[in-house]
Structure 1
Amino acid sequence: MTPDELVVLVDGDGNAIGTAPKTSVHGPDTPLHLAFSSYVFDEGGRVLLSRRASHKVTWPDVWTNSCCGHPLPGESLDDAVVRRLSYELGLVVDHVDLMLPRFSYRAIMGNGIVEHELCPVYRVLTTAPVRPNPEEVGEVLWMPWKEFTAGVMSGLLAISPWCRDQVPQLDDLGADPLAWTPATAADLPPAARR
């Protein structure tokens, strides 16, 4: 991240209302802003989990979905997903599909830092090797989807709060993540339609 990297601020209806430096939007009064979550799958339907680097401002050392991030102003979410997967995990992406176009959440860390994001969720397919960037990722793990969802929904698998909320919605799409029917870009909030 460059010091002047900007995120897109949004209102409750998903309309862009401005930008702010990324370094300024994660605190006790975090404004709602545009982000994304992605779940990377291999050919066998295993999901790639990542443990956030220990020096991250939000949820350090916490296991989560494959990759999250923020689109730059004017950048499509699809392009942001591909960019961040390359940077964080060294991944070459085969396919990106929008799955949960209107997911949104607000979560508070024990120290009072808040995440508040309008965060569409993507399924990503890859056959490439993973090369985690230690600036972003502490560790990775491939897990069968059924095992992962069972662990998250039973509460036995400790996971980030956004991932814990996303998994039941993704599970509702069907037992086989490779067979999910994608949403369309028209379903995205206005700020994310590029």
Structure 2
Amino acid sequence: MSSTTTTTTTAITADNILRLFAGDVDTNVIGQARQSGGRSADADLAGYDEEQIRLMDEVCIVLDENDVPIGSASKKVCHLMENINKGLLHRAFSVFLFDQQNRLLLQQRASEKITFPDMWTNTCCSHPLGTPSETGADLPSSVAGAKRAATRKLGHELGIPAAQVPPEAFKFLTRIHYLAPSDGKWGEHEIDYILFAKPKHAVLVEPNLNEVRDTRYVTKDELRDMFAQPDLKFTPWFKLICENMLFAWWDKLEKEGDVVAFEEEQHIRRM
């Protein structure tokens, strides 16, 4: 099973980013990621699913270790371990969506996924893009961008209509900074915005099978039972959040119907 890794990479700053990643990072922050060549000639992506290859062109927000945007780069560039090992860091979000019975919606990532295929994880995990609506320079605008991205990706991955979980439905809890390899080539190095949502009405879930292999709603005990099953694999960030934070948040949600006591931490939790 993949595991998280202590972040001991080079600290990326606005001063050294061009020296380290001159051909791959656009320091304009918002704009087009630089591409080194066409996808058809890209040996790193040879043999993967065509739609997942296309998504590797999406533009992620490159950060320094204080979550300040200092550039933008393709999803592919941000997820190659050779770049992560040099310190490349990007912004992400993780959605935890609960129903009215306080059950958490999980997804199993599709086999077609390039990183962490077939693993169970929280409701939705992805990245705000390097666009004006999803990039923020301070915490409030960055949270707003992550919420917009979360609504967009719930639709893309799970078919949940935007009107059922609009950006204002999310509560931002905290940010975590972690590094996790997927295999020898790919991995994650992210500052991850944790977003909770508990819609008042049941949501429509129609998974995009190129993104999501399976879904299920679980109670806390059912999730613990899943963790005990040796044949099930989980994404490292989900395990990390569960082991350190999730069950305390979940207790609060069950007892009081809300997670306000944990909301909007200003500091970044370094994992």
What TM-score comes out, normalization by structure 2 length? 0.62
Q: 2:182 is matched with which residue?
A: 109
Higher helix share: 2
Higher-Rg structure is 2
2: CA distance, partners of 1:68 / 1:113 = 16
- Work out which of the residue numbers 76, 88, 92 in structure 2 matches 1:23: 76
Matching residue's letter, 1:93: V
> What is the percentage of aligned positions where both structures have the same residue?
31
Matching residue's letter, 1:163: F
- Work out which of the residue numbers 124, 129, 152 in structure 2 matches 1:67: 124
- Tell me by how many angstroms 1:172 deviates: 2.7
Unaligned runs of 5+ in 1: 190-194
Q: 1:192 is matched with which residue?
A: none
Q: 1:15 to 1:145 in 2, by over 3 A?
A: same
1: CA distance, partners of 2:125 / 2:56 = 19
- Tell me by how many angstroms 1:24 deviates: 2.1
Please tell me whether residue 97 in structure 1 is matched to residue 171 in structure 2.
yes
Deviations 1:43-80 (A, max 9, x none): 00001110101011100011111100110123111101
- Tell me by how many angstroms 1:173 deviates: 3.0
Matching residue's letter, 1:171: F
2: CA distance, partners of 1:3 / 1:146 = 36
What TM-score comes out, normalization by structure 1 length? 0.85
Across the aligned residues of Structure 1 and Structure 2, the Cα RMSD in angstroms comes to 2.2
Please tell me whether residue 187 in structure 1 is matched to residue 270 in structure 2.
no
Unaligned runs of 5+ in 2: 1-53, 135-144
Aligned residue pairs, count: 186
Please tell me whether residue 122 in structure 1 is matched to residue 195 in structure 2.
yes
- Work out which of the residue numbers 157, 162, 178 in structure 2 matches 1:88: 157
Q: 1:61 to 1:20 in 2, by over 3 A?
A: same
2: CA distance, partners of 1:176 / 1:131 = 29
- Tell me by how many angstroms 1:5 deviates: 1.9
Higher strand share: 1
Contact 1:146–1:175 (Cα < 8 Å) also in 2: no
